[in-house]
Amino acid sequence: MADGGTIEAVSVEALQAQVAKLTKALARAKTKGKRTMPAQKPGKSEQVVGTPRDFLDAVEARFGELDWDLAANETNCVVQNVDGGPSRFFFGEEENSLRQNWGDRVGLNWCNPPFDDIAPWVKKAAEEASPIARVLMLTPASVDANWWWDFVRPHAVTYAVAPRLTFVGHDKPYPKGLSLLYFGLGATGFGRFRWKEGRK
């Protein structure tokens, strides 16, 4: 060197190790303090879950009594008997709700469909719901999905659900936002359903 100093030889391996160390430190700095999403398990998540009763009570207080459950079984039907237990007012797996005529179900119908394939459920609600056969449907808040743009936006009022729900049998809230879709009103729009407000 011109100033009389010496140049220390550094191996390629040492430089690569230093770069790797700096890269990890930078990645940690970028994510520090940020929340991370839980690991998703496509095709492996539980598809038959119960809707929490306190949420359903808030739904009925806001929108009216539920008359029929479009996707349920004996243990998770949301329409209650007079004694407060699940009724037989539902389409079970053996009846295949998607093959039934939802337009014949006069009143306010509930649907918490399997989240792994929402499109056929919202399509059916868009096609068959009416002012006398309305449908409330709980879905992921996937406003970027094709099914939302094709069947929800032009046919339903979308309510963002707040706070997040903890489904029956689970101890943590569902990791993504949910929407409550109201089909059959002859209206569209967007709002927020703060289901715990004013409730004890």
Instruction: For residue 50, give the 3-state DSSP assignment.
Output: strand
Distance separating alpha carbons of residues 14 and 197, to the nearest angstrom? 59
The CATH code belonging to domain 53-194 is: 3.40.50
Distance separating alpha carbons of residues 45 and 69, to the nearest angstrom? 22
The residue among 111, 97, 114 whose CA lies nearest residue 47 is 114
pTM, two decimal places: 0.75
* pLDDT tens, per residue, the chain with 200 residues: 445 554 455 566 766 666 667 666 666 665 555 444 444 444 444 446 789 999 999 999 999 999 999 999 888 899 988 777 777 899 999 999 999 999 999 999 999 999 999 999 999 999 999 999 999 999 999 999 999 999 999 999 999 999 999 999 899 999 999 999 999 999 999 999 999 986 55
Q: Give phi and psi for 27, each to the nearest 5.
A: -65, -40
Task: Please say whether the dihedral angle defined by the alpha carbons of residues 61, 128, 124 and 87, taken in this order, is positive or negative.
Answer: positive
Distance separating alpha carbons of residues 108 and 106, to the nearest angstrom? 7
Q: Residue 130 has which token pair? A: 């009416």
